[in-house]
């Protein structure tokens, strides 16, 4: 079956670092969906923050984990 893991995370960095992070997430070998994303203001050091809610889907052996349709 397939199970899912929902999580939220905060990521901060320069615009270029945040774009690179999202690119790596998109190219991941795991199936991940970004459910919500919010960008925060830049600080004086030029960094901004992202609040990301995402869901990762993964295979589980029959009878283990929480199965989803």
Q: Which runs of consecutive H residues, i.e. helices, occur in 1-69? A: 15-26
Q: Could you read off the pLDDT of 20-47 as tens digits, one per residue?
A: 999 999 898 889 999 999 998 877 888 9
User: Positive or negative CA dihedral for 18, 19, 24, 30?
Assistant: positive
Token duo for residue 36:
């919500």
Q: What pLDDT sits at residue 5?
A: 94
Spatial neighbors of 59 by CB under 8 A, at least 6 apart, are: 1, 2, 3
pTM to 2 decimal places: 0.71
Could you tell me if 59 and 1 are in contact, meaning their C-beta atoms sit under 8 angstroms apart?
yes
Token duo for residue 32:
């991940």
């Amino acid at each position: 079956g397939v199970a899912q893991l929902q999580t939220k995370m905060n990521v901060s960095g320069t615009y270029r670092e945040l774009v690179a992070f999202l690119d790596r997430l998109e190219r991941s070998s795991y199936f991940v969906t970004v459910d919500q994303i919010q960008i925060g203001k830049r600080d004086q050091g030029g960094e901004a923050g992202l609040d990301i809610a995402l869901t990762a889907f993964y295979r589980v052996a029959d009878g283990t984990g929480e199965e989803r349709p």
